[in-house]
Amino acid sequence: MQISSRFTIAVHVLIAIESFKNEYKITSEFLASSVNVNPTVIRRILQQLKKADIVTVKRGSGGADLGRTPEEITLLDVYNAVEPVENGQLFHFHENPNELCPVGRNIHAIMDRRLEEIQQAMEEKMKSVTIADVMQDANKLIAEAES
């Protein structure tokens, strides 16, 4: 299992929006230069974040802003916005285990509860970390690099 780069790009975008909002017009081109990706990728992610009420985006070159305070946006909010999971299930089970095999016949009973617990633990941890927390880490590293 690997979470796509959309999640880390979205976090990067949110930190950049908040960090530079008073200095620059926050456009998809500006954000793309920070992330070092095509502006189309940024526009797609901004639309997902907008749909989740995490950002506001003004049409044209109006720019983007956070729709909530950094303290109100959790990593789980961001994850759910840009990495939608099918039926709320992080883990996708193989479709047709062999019912004639004792392992195949019982694999769901063996794994379902454990996978749910793992997903729940990940989600709880992601709920406990906000964009403000990540920004605090970023600001600390930036300050250290400048000194």
Higher pLDDT, 43 or 146: 43
10 with 35: CB under 8 angstroms?
Answer: no
pLDDT digits (tens, 9 = 90+) for 25-56: 999 999 999 999 999 999 999 999 999 999 99
Higher pLDDT, 117 or 90: 117
pLDDT digits (tens, 9 = 90+) for 55-80: 999 877 678 999 999 999 999 999 99
* pTM for this model (two decimals): 0.86
Q: Set out the domains of the chain in order of their start, with CATH numbers.
A: 6-146 (1.10.10.10)
C-alpha distances out from residue 26 to 13, 19, 73, 80, 99, Å: 10, 10, 19, 23, 55
pLDDT digits (tens, 9 = 90+) for 8-24: 999 999 999 999 999 99
Q: How confident is the model at residue 2 (pLDDT cuts 50, 70, 90)?
A: low
- Average pLDDT of the residues in 121-139: 96
User: Of 116, 96, 122, nearest to 107 (Cα)?
Assistant: 96
- Looking at every residue in the chain, the average pLDDT score rounds to 91
- Average pLDDT of the residues in 93-100: 86
Bridge-based pairing state of the strands 63-66 and 55-58: antiparallel
**Which pLDDT does position 26 carry in this prediction?**
94
